[in-house]
Every structure is written in C-alpha cells, then in structure tokens.
DNA sequence: TATGGTTGTCTATATCAATAGACATTTAGA
DNA sequence: TCTAAATGTCTATTGATATAGACAACCATA
C-alpha cells in the first residue's frame, strides 16, 4: 500500500477514499500472498484513522462483493479484477479481453431511432437531422458488467441493426450481415468522470466510483464512418492499453 | 446540464458532486451564450438541493479560479479548458497540444538514481536491480500545470539525461544528444483514480478530483526500450485522443 | 430613482462522518 | 482448553455536511 496520505475535509469522506485505495491495492495484487486484507487495527494505524472508519471502508467493499469479513479470522478477498482493454485500429469488445475471462457477452438494453445532432452529424460525416439508429448495450465479462455503451449508426445503411444485434449479440456480426465485412477504429477519445445514476445500476457500482469514458468512431474499409459510440467503463475494473 | 440526479449518502459530499458537474458543463460549453453560470436559486432547483449547498459548490470552483461571483450580477465563468492530448506512435508532450495553447513548457521537479524494481526491469527489458535514472517532471500549458510524470531511463545509456533535460527542457532533445535520434511509443496504459497529495499540490487540483494515469513505454528505432513513464493528468483539463 | 434579480451573511437545526473507548463473539493454534 | 488475534456491537462526543429561513448589499435597467 503506497504511503500516500489521505485528504481531510475535501468533500470526499475518509472511508470512501480508503475504500478506493484498498480496492486498488487488491487489484494490484498487494495482498495475494495471504488472500486477506490486513487486520482492521493495522489498516487504521497505516492510514492514521480510527478503526471504525476502516470498518466503514471494508463494509463498502463487502457491499461490492470484493471482500468478505469473517469474525475471528479476518477479511478475505473475494474477487479481484482489472481487465486490460486494448485500444487499437481493430478494437472490438470481446476479442481483446477474450483471453482474460472465460465468457464475454453483450446485451442490448435499449434501441431506438433519432435525428442526428450537430455533433453526431459532424462525427459521422452526415447531415444534421439525418436519421440514426441508437443502441444502448451492456458489455459483460464472466457475467460481471464491465461497460455500458451508447452507439449511433446511420439509419439509411443500418436501419435493421438493432434486430440483428439482438439475435447475434455482436456488432461485428451485425455489420457483416449489413454489407460491412470489416471495420476499423478511427479515433478514440478518453476521459474520466464520476459515475452517474445509470452507471450505478447498469455497472453495479458503488456511488462515488470513477468511470472511464471512451468516445469512439468506427469506419468501414472505405473510411466511411459507420458507428459512433460513447462507452463508460468501471474504472476499477478495466485498464486501457494503447498499442502503437 | 444533463438531467442526472446526484447521489446522497455515498461518502462524496453533495457540494463536491455538484461542483464537478458544473465544471464539466462549463468545459462542455453549456453556458457559452451568457458566459455565466445560472443563478444559485436556479441551480438549487435543478439539482434539488438547498441554495447554500450550491454556494459551497461555486465557492470551490471560485477557489479553482474557474468562476468568479459578482454580487448583484451573477457568477461569471473565468476560465474553461480541456486540452485534447493525442496518443500515438509519435506521442510527445508539447507537439500534440501545441496548436491548442500559446506556450507549452516542461519543468524538472526532481531527479535521482535508483535500482530497477522487478516491474520496471520487465518493462524496460533489463535486469532487476540495474541502475536507472528517475526524472520527475511537470508539464505546463500556458503556465497552467497539466500533467506530472515520473520517468525511468536505463542509466548505462542515459546517465546524464537529467542534466541535459534540465537545460533543454525536452526529453526529445535530451535523447538526441545521447544518441537516440528518434523514438516511438510502444504501449500506453490508461487508468483513472482520485488525486493524491502530490497531484493536489503539483497540478493545483482541488481535493477529490480525478486524475487520468498514463503508463507509457518508449523505445528507440531498434525497438530497445529507452523510457518508462507514469504520467498523471488532471482529468477535467485533458482528454486523450487515440488516433488509429 | 424605484424595482426585480442576484450574491452575501447570519442564525438555527438535523443528519452524516469520524473519533474514542469498552466489551462481546468467533476463530485458529499452542 | 486456554489464549491471542481478529471481527462485531454498543455508547458517547465532536466536527463537517445539508437544510431552512430571513434579510442585507449590490447591480442593471426601466
């Protein structure tokens, strides 16, 4: 556990800061030898806070299913994971993390049609107001939610993509059926922010958590934009890897 | 302002959540027409909180120099910025954002020698314990801190890099003097976390802020690793752009 | 100069966050 | 079976967070 001090009177409660730090340490493998978090009294000493504050932190982590406290023994680590998510010209959800998990799945949350806003039109190189298909999807790895994405497709070429996606569960396959045998990632923009209400429910996050936001543009092999998407990842579960 | 509700009893104070949201809206250009933040009473109504809570949020933003309240008129937007930071095979700090700001600068905070840890040795493809030069640098754009980085270089090839960097203020130039005419980014890992104490001081962040963390490996044209670095960016000031 | 809209300041109250201490309960191992 | 070490529970107190209401001070403008 790095010796960074925690911040007081910042609008972020100590128990939350400490919970975030312990979660990071778990993901980093700091406690792999024992498979347990250090005793509450030890942590309280390390962080310079009261034991009750540590208990609040561990309670939050237990709520997330990351640790489990056993009276008399200690606090066991139940789960640790931070998926490495490659971002490259050939970025696809399932491919990159396929070797890190047993099963990846993509679920359609919602679908609909809407007119292109100025921003979406600029990205997809179409006219403002042109019809778009919007898909809301949830990416899962081993039945754990990892990302939630909103994607827009030009409706003239991909009017039926929602239905095809619903049956195949794959954007790549849907594209193939609609005459796009292959596509590439043109650009990805990455930002970070606090989790909103949708993130909390869809990604099963605890409030105050951080999400990584990736805005991506995909194009077919003729360099014509086919998909613009905004994906939100649980920051403590993934890591983006940019291979150049 | 997006209609996301704010979270109560999460360990993150309401005033901080709201401050983050307002800052994002400012950066997004939501208030560009008036150049002002909506009145406190309006914001209180929108977020469903007391006016005093909004005042706490605006006070925090004023502390950051983002807004300035004027009695009788309203709260003026003083500054908005979110630099787009390209990540590519030829990523350098100054080049990518050069057209977005008037001046970029890099300052040496500290330098020293240390032995390679297992992790650093693996990245740089050298032996564990081999001597490394460590540089702590601060990247600035128009005199505003944007990123703080820790870099490691194999000492056998780059033993004098600290001194050369101190005079030139450029890694690229230092490499050139040491016989590396060109170098490329091999891989970049991107994560996000809360700001630590060093971030607060060096990046002039308010506590609880988010930082984007980029761990990067650079290699020379023979594909020999020359630099491993961990950079921390103020998440509300930058956006990573991955061109593929 | 009168008015409406805005920020600034004050008091009061309730709840959350954090500390402090004491003791019970459970487990593993000597 | 005793003991040490760990988590579980309880009470009490302090400071930060949030709400509520009232009013002052200031600005732009009709």
DSSP state of B97: H
Residue that has been written with the tokens 């930002």 in this structure = A191
pLDDT of amino acid B36: 92
Higher pLDDT, A122 or B24: A122
Tens of pLDDT, residue by residue over A175-223, are 999 999 888 888 888 888 878 778 888 887 766 678 898 888 899 888 8
Beta bridge partners of B44: none
Domains of chain B: residue spans and CATH: 14-77 (1.10.10.10), 83-242 (3.40.1410.10)
With a cut of 70, say whether residue A102 has pLDDT above it: no
**pLDDT number for residue B8:** 65
Is residue A39 within 8 A of residue A45, CB to CB? The reply is no
Sheet of strand A83-87: strand arrangement: A83-87, A238-243, B183-194, B210-220, B225-234, B144-154, B131-141, B104-115
Share of chain A above pLDDT 70, in %: 84
DSSP characters over A38-76: PPHHHHHHHHTS-HHHHHHHHHHHHHTTSEEEETTTEEE
What ipTM is given for this predicted complex? 0.60
In chain A, what residues touch B211 (CB-CB under 8 Å)? 192
Q: Tell me how close the Cα of A103 comes to any Cα of chain B, in angstroms.
A: 23
Residue B6's pLDDT is what? 66
End-to-end CA distance of chain B: 32
Cα A136 vs. chain centroid, distance in angstroms?
A: 14
pLDDT tens digits along B108-150: 888 999 999 888 898 899 999 999 999 999 888 766 788 899 9
Chain B closest CA to A15's CA: distance in Å? 7
Nearest CA among A86, A242, A95 for reference residue A182: A95
Q: What is the mean pLDDT of residues B169-176?
A: 86
A-chain residues within 8 Å CB-CB of B2? 196
- Structure-block tokens of residue B233: 């960016």
Contact A180, A226 (CB under 8 A): yes
For A89, nearest residue in chain B (alpha carbons): B244
Stretch (H or E) spanning B130: none
Q: What percent of chain B has pLDDT over 90?
A: 30
In this structure, what token pair is assigned to residue B125? 């493809």
Q: Which residues of A touch B189 (CB under 8 A)?
A: 84, 239-242
Indicate whether A151 pLDDT > 70: yes
pLDDT of residue B3: 43
Estimate in Å the CA A49 to C1' C21 gap, whole number. Answer: 15
- pLDDT at A2 exceeding the cut of 50: no
Residue A147, Cβ density class (10 Å: 0-12 exposed, 13-18 middle, ≥19 buried): buried
Closest residue to A208, CB basis, from B11, B15, B197: B11
Instruction: Report, as an integer, the average pLDDT of A53-77.
Output: 88
Is A113 a residue whose pLDDT tops 70? yes
Determine the pLDDT at residue A171.
86
Scan for tokens 């970049």, then name that residue: B188
Mean pLDDT of A54-58: 91
- Taken in order B234, B239, B243, B244, the sign of the CA dihedral is positive
């Amino acid at each position: 556990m790095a010796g960074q001090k925690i911040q007081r009177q910042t609008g972020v409660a100590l128990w939350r800061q400490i919970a975030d730090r312990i979660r990071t340490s778990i993901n980093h493998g700091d406690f792999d030898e024992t498979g347990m978090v250090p005793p509450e009294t030890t942590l309280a000493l390390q962080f310079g806070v009261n034991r009750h504050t540590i208990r609040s932190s561990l309670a939050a982590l237990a709520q997330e299913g990351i640790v489990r406290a056993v009276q008399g023994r200690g606090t066991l680590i139940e789960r640790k994971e931070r998926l490495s998510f490659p971002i490259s010209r050939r970025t696809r959800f399932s491919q990159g993390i396929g070797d890190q998990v047993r099963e990846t799945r993509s679920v359609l949350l919602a679908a609909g049609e809407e007119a292109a806003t100025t921003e979406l039109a600029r990205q997809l190189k179409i006219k403002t107001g042109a019809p778009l298909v919007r898909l809301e999807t949830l990416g899962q790895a081993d039945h754990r939610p990892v990302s939630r994405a909103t994607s827009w497709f030009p409706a003239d070429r991909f009017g039926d993509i929602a239905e095809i996606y619903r049956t195949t569960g794959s954007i790549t396959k849907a594209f193939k059926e609609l005459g796009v045998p292959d596509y590439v990632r043109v650009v990805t923009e990455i930002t970070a922010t606090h989790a909103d209400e949708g993130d909390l429910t869809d990604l099963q996050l605890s409030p105050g958590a951080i999400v990584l936001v990736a805005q991506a543009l995909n194009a077919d092999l003729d360099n014509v934009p086919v998909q613009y998407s905004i994906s939100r990842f649980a920051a403590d579960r993934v890591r983006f890897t940019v291979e150049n």
